[in-house]
Chain A
Amino acid sequence: MEDLKKILIEHPFFKGLNEEYTSLIVGCASNIRADAGKMILREGEEANHFYLIRSGKVTLQLITPNKGPVIIETLDEGDILGWSWLVPPYTWHFDAKAVELTRMIALDGKCLRNKCENDHHLGYELLKRFADIMTKRLESTRLQLMDVYGDRP
Chain B
Amino acid sequence: MATAPDLQSLKVDYKRNPMLPWPFQIRRVKRETEDTFTVELEPQGDLEEFPFLPGQFNMVYVFGVGEIPISISGDPANTRILIHTTRAVGTVTKAMDKMRRGDILGIRGPFGTPWPINQAGGKDVVFVAGGIGLAPLRPALYEVVTHREKYGKVVLLYGTRTPNDVLFRQELEHWRARFDLEIYVTVDRAMSGWRGNVGVVTNLISRAPFDPRNTMAFVCGPEVMMRFTSMELHKRGVDNEHIFVSMERNMKCAIGLCGHCQFGSFFVCKDGPVFRYSQIKDMLVKWEI
Contacts and interface: CB of A to CB of B under 8 A. Distances in A.
B133 interface: yes
Residue with the highest number of chain B CB atoms closer than 10 Å, among A68, A72, A74: A74
Interface string B4-29: 00000000000000000000000000
A72 B198 contact: yes
A77 to B, nearest CB: 8
A38 B124 CA distance: 38
Contact of A74 (B133, B198, B220, B221): B198
Q: Classify the interface of chain B: helix, strand, loop or mixed.
A: mixed
Contacts of B130: 148-149, 153
Given A71-B190, A71-B191, A151 B198 contact: no
Given A151-B222, A153-B222, A144 B189 contact: yes
A87 interface: no
B221 A148 contact: yes
Q: Classify the interface of chain A: helix, strand, loop or mixed.
A: mixed
A153 B248 contact: yes
A10 to B, nearest CB: 15
Contacts of A71: 189-192, 194, 198
Contacts of B241: none
Contacts of B228: 139, 143
Nearest to B162: A149
B43 to A, nearest CB: 26
Contact of B89 (A70, A76, A144, A152): A152
Contacts of B202: 139-140, 143
B165 interface: yes
Given A67-B191, A99-B195, A139-B228, 20 more contacts: A68-B191, A71-B190, A71-B192, A72-B189, A74-B196, A100-B195, A143-B200, A144-B188, A144-B189, A144-B199, A147-B161, A148-B221, A148-B224, A148-B225, A149-B130, A149-B131, A149-B132, A150-B161, A151-B222, A153-B225
Interface of B: 87, 89-90, 130-133, 159-161, 165, 186, 188-192, 194-200, 202-203, 207, 220-225, 228, 248
